[in-house]
Amino acid sequence: MARRQPALEGLGMSKSFWQDRRVLVTGASGLVGSWLTRRLLDAKADVVCLVRDWVPRSELVRARTLEQVTVVRGDVCDRDVIERAIGEYEIGTVLHLAAQAIVGVANRNPVSTFETNIRGTWNLLEACRRSPGVESIVIASSDKAYGDQEELPYTEDAPLAGRHPYDVSKSCADMIAQTCAQTYGLPVAVTRCGNFYGGGDLNWNRVV
């Protein structure tokens, strides 16, 4: 895809790459976001976190990592907030982890899941498209974006074919990221992650 390489080059997390780099992390209070933010700080990055809810038990709060970053309070569905944060803090790299990530919640509340996972992603990408200083964008997708595949194990070449609410939300967000790369040349990389687990996980239904 056009201009995707800068995002891919940055994923090595080398300190020379991240030192003093202005990074926006969405979903920073989640399991992955909390640890990623800490790692970025260790690499001397200048981190800005988009935070919607105050989650006292989050690893981000518990480890006092939140005190070491710039916090922008807002929702990923609010494009004006995202665009202001990117412009005001001169963001060069965007790591988009904000999502409704629980399958059971998605089944019970599909609309709110679609709002966060789909609309939130296109809002973020549109804000990036309108912000020429953004050099690289990483979108956290899921292996659920593949849906139920007849041939296992699936590969990255498998079609995105979600059928259930959470799966569909990830298929859509993934494809929106790809169309922004193809059509507008946005420097986007997509990661399709499996189940995460580890310290600070507040989802007690996690499959391990």
Residues serving a catalytic function are 166
Classify burial at 103, counting beta carbons within 10 Å of its beta carbon; exposed 0-12, middle 13-18, buried 19 or more: middle
The bridge status of strand 93-96 relative to strand 46-51 is: unpaired
DSSP letter for 158, please: S
Measure Cα distances from 147 to 14, 105, 152, 162 in Å.
Answer: 34, 17, 12, 4
How far apart are the two ends of the chain, measured CA to CA in Å? Answer: 34
Q: How far is CA 87 from the centre of its chain?
A: 19
Please list the residues that pair with 72 across neighbouring strands: 50
**Secondary structure percentages of the chain, helix, strand, coil, to 5:** 45, 15, 40
One-character DSSP codes across 64-98? TGGGGSEEEE--TT-HHHHHHHHHHTT--EEEE--
Please list the residues that pair with 140 across neighbouring strands: 191
